[in-house]
């Protein structure tokens, strides 16, 4: 496990260091995993390291619509060339390009492709996948050397072995790609899923890249999602990858994970999140910048080494409440990653008859598919783990359960009931999410700051998992961009507050208390307008004193600006995952509007505004001081601006829906 977000800034001092300090470390897990039990909850950490890497089949689905022209397609070509070089000799790949139409790359001539109906069944784990290597022999055909194609071409010649000569052909094919036409997402997706289902490699996955909405063919996102779901759930007989057409004793369902990449700000990240969540994968945004090719390579690197497919976590039925177990089925486990499952243990009164007592009776089993067949690993609780007293800085395992549950409810479902349940859990456990916000309350001399976690009512187009089908709906991302993506759900990062705030009390059913201890939780208040209950006299200052205290300076006078500026309209800031650079627009053509409240280092009421409207003297010299004031207005660079500089009308405060 890597705590990439553990970071601190050292302030300027005579003996100190001004700069960003990033601490990265990994935890050593015994036997690839461990189980912890505490306060009626369990946490199962699984990070396989001793398993061999699985052969995989990667279906690359590449958007070549006209909006990809220029730098985007150049970056895509660079990334694909590097990614193809990373494929292992026993891997397979396919390339589907699409614009108004879809096209599948086949390096074999038509007469040499073996029809699907003539494919021979192969039992899972029976043979080495390298058996499908090309066989080249010589014959006396007029002195010419004849190359014989593989005897059994997977997927009608669309599933290509990752051999050097095919990689070279694929690179030449990609180099000739040109951007033109519209965007037909539905046709490309269904074809990619069909190809992935046609191979019998242990793990097939789809990497889907697009930079916009569907404009050709089926354009309604909800219909595209439905078609993809139906296409990606096919019953098979055992491991033989054909649709069942006769009685079978070993019926299984093959699911192909779809990993979506939203290229640029115009890509519909909401649709892609839903698409991936419903198809066992995850989604990530690729920022349209000079390092886009590197971003693409980094995403693929995380998928390059699968060690287990179709992972299932199981626990004793008489000791675990099944309704309180987080997601426990995963498409794959990858080398270098960690899977965490948490849940609630049954109390002594709830346990079924025959259940023994003691930690030694609890176990966690991980089942998955390897190249040689099914692998099962059993983990037992670690009795030597020393737990420190519960504090708000060292919460019990119920908080981990809450974190995972909120993530899965918000990202994995579009149902309003799921979003409501996630909001209630977030309020109870004081998590700042896309549906809750942290609101400061200044007390006394303004040095004492209390906080409350409040509900956020998002505009419809900003709701997690919500899909807009009308042509005028906004599809850009909202709130904080930090940590966005599949494996890094931004709960650990504080979302910038969005929309209007309203609070309702959450009182859990007494029979379903999530924890025996309620420690370290912030108080949750009834709905109020921002700062409504504060004593306005505490914040009244003489206007001349305010102007003297906070002087505005010209944007160009910020001494550090030239070092982080990318062209005249953008800034490159370390606000990505683990402090990685991320592109933000300056919004020079935007109007001076107050966005949602924020917690300012100045410890006074503040709202987020565009940087060029609130370039105060405190930001002029020190870049890291600016980062303390930074807030994201969608993809625009903003700062937490003191309300004393500009009149505030709460009824006109803007949500982040641009």
Residue 581: the pLDDT is 77
CA distance 495 to 498: 8
CA distance 509 to 529: 29
- The pair of structure tokens assigned to 56 is 């995989």
Report DSSP state, residue 558.
-
Q: Please report the sign of the dihedral spanned by the C-alpha atoms of residue 415, residue 420, residue 426, residue 431.
A: positive
Tokens 């942290």 identify what position? 438
Q: Are 481 and 632 in contact (CB under 8 A)?
A: yes
Q: What is the 3-state secondary structure (H, E, C) of 427-474?
A: HHHCCCCCCEEEEEEEECCCCEEEEEEEEEECCHHHCCCCCCCCCCCC
Report DSSP state, residue 267.
S
Give the count of beta carbons closer than 10 Å to the beta carbon of residue 87: 21
pTM above 0.85, yes or no: no
CA distance 74 to 118: 40
Q: What is the mean pLDDT of each run of 10 residues along the chain (658 residues)?
A: 43 55 68 82 86 90 90 89 90 92 81 49 40 36 41 65 93 91 91 90 90 85 88 64 50 79 84 86 85 86 87 89 89 86 86 50 86 78 59 72 87 67 87 76 59 54 43 35 30 26 31 36 33 36 49 90 86 75 85 84 85 91 88 86 81 53
User: Of all helices (H) and strands (E), which one includes residue 379?
Assistant: strand 373-379
For residue 279, CA distances in Å to 197, 202, 206, 331 come to: 13, 17, 10, 9
Orientation angle between helical segments 71-86 and 292-303, nearest 10 degrees: 30
Report DSSP state, residue 594.
-
Number of H helices, E strands in the chain: 11, 31
Domains of the chain with CATH codes: 35-53+305-387 (no CATH), 56-114+154-304 (3.40.50.410), 390-529 (no CATH), 541-652 (no CATH)
Q: Are 132 and 200 in contact (CB under 8 A)?
A: no
SS3 419: helix
Residue 443: the pLDDT is 62
Residue 189: the pLDDT is 93
- The edge-to-edge listing of strands for the beta sheet with 500-501 is 436-443, 448-457, 500-501
Q: Are 456 and 498 in contact (CB under 8 A)?
A: yes
């Amino acid at each position: 496990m890597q705590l990439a977000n553990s970071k601190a800034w050292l302030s300027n001092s005579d003996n100190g260091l001004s700069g960003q300090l990033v601490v990265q470390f990994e935890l050593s897990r015994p036997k690839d995993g461990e189980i912890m039990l505490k306060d009626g909850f369990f946490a199962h950490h699984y990070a396989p390291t001793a398993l061999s890497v699985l052969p995989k089949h990667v279906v690359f689905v590449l958007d070549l619509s006209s909006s990809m022209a220029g730098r985007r397609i150049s970056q895509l070509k660079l990334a694909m060339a590097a990614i193809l070089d990373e494929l292992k000799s026993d891997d397979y790949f396919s390339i589907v390009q699409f614009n108004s139409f879809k096209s599948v790359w086949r390096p074999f001539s038509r007469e040499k492709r073996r029809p699907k109906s003539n494919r021979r069944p192969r039992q899972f784990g029976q043979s080495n996948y390298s058996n499908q290597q090309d066989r080249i022999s010589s014959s006396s055909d007029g002195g010419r050397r004849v190359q014989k194609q593989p005897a059994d071409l997977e997927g009608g010649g669309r599933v290509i072995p990752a051999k050097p000569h095919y990689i070279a052909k694929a690179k030449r094919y990609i180099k000739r790609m040109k951007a033109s036409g519209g965007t037909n997402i539905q046709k490309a997706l269904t074809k990619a899923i069909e190809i992935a289902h046609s191979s019998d490699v242990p793990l097939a996955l789809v990497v889907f890249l697009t930079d916009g909405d569907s404009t050709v063919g089926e354009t309604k996102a909800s219909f595209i999602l439905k078609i993809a779901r139906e296409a990606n759930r096919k019953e098979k007989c055992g491991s033989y990858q054909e649709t069942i057409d006769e009685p079978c004793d070993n019926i299984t369902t093959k699911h192909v994970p779809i990993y979506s990449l939203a290229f640029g700000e115009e890509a519909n990240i909401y649709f892609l999140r839903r698409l991936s969540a419903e198809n066992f994968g995850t989604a990530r945004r690729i920022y349209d910048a000079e390092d886009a090719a590197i971003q693409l390579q980094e995403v693929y690197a995380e998928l390059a080494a699968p060690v287990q497919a179709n992972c299932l976590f199981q626990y004793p039925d008489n000791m675990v409440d099944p309704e309180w177990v987080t997601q426990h089925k995963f498409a794959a486990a990858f080398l270098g990653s960690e899977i965490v499952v948490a849940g609630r243990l049954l109390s002594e009164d709830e346990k079924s008859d025959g259940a023994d007592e003691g930690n030694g009776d609890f176990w966690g089993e991980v089942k998955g598919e390897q190249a040689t067949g099914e692998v099962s690993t059993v983990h037992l609780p670690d009795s030597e783990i020393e737990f420190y007293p519960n504090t708000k800085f060292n919460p019990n395992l119920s908080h981990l359960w809450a974190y995972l549950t909120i993530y899965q409810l918000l990202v994995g479902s579009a149902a309003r009931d799921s979003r409501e349940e996630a909001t209630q859990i977030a309020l109870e456990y004081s998590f700042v999410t896309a549906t809750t916000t942290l609101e400061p309350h200044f007390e006394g001399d303004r040095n004492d700051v209390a906080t409350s976690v409040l509900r956020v009512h998002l505009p419809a187009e900003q709701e997690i998992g919500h899909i807009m089908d009308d042509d005028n709906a906004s599809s850009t991302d909202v709130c904080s961009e930090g940590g966005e993506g599949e494996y890094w759900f931004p709960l650990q990062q504080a979302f910038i507050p969005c929309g209007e705030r309203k609070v309702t009390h959450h009182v859990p059913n007494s029979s379903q208390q999530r924890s025996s201890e309620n420690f370290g939780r912030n108080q949750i208040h009834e709905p109020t307008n921002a700062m409504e209950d504060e004593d306005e006299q505490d914040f009244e200052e003489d206007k001349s004193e305010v102007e003297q205290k906070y002087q505005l300076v010209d944007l160009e006078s910020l001494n550090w600006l030239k070092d982080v500026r990318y062209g005249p309209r953008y800034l490159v800031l370390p606000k990505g995952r683990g402090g990685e650079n991320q592109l933000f627009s300056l919004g020079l053509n935007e109007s001076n509007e107050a966005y949602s409240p924020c917690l300012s280092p100045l410890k006074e009421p503040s709202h987020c505004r565009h940087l060029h409207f609130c370039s105060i003297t405190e930001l002029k010299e020190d870049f890291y001081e600016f980062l303390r004031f930074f807030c994201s207005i969608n993809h625009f660079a903003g700062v937490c601006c003191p309300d004393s500089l500009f009149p505030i009308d709460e009824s006109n405060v803007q949500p982040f829906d641009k």
